[in-house]
Amino acid sequence: MKRRFGALFRAFTVVLLVVSAWTTYANVYSDRAEVSAQAEQIARKAAGCGATCRFSGMRVSRGMLEESVTYDVVGSGTYMVACRRAYVAVGDYACAVSPR
């Protein structure tokens, strides 16, 4: 019984390590061009200036579970767009904006 538990524990640990490594790669180190374009479009829409928006600053924070981008829009204010995947390491990103 003790050996069986040890083998199961090791297998679980390996699976957890692989999932953590994949999540880190998929959410932190992979290409973010698509997410960046989606976040920028949402910030422009929230600011109400569309294609004529001018940004005076942008800050990006990427983590294992969420990516957030803060835009300083000239004449309109600051908007933070947070993007998360549908599932932890897979699925499309969904972004939501909140004025700051």
| pLDDT tens track, the chain, 100 positions | 678 888 899 999 999 999 888 888 877 777 788 889 999 999 999 999 988 999 999 999 988 788 999 999 999 999 999 999 888 767 888 999 986 6
Give residue 51's domain range: 2-99
Q: State residue 23's pLDDT score.
A: 80
3-state per-residue secondary structure call for 41-93? HHHHHHHCCHHHCCEEEEEEEECCCCEEEEEEECCCEEEEEEEEECCCCCCCE
Q: State residue 32's pLDDT score.
A: 80
Structural domains in the chain (count): 1
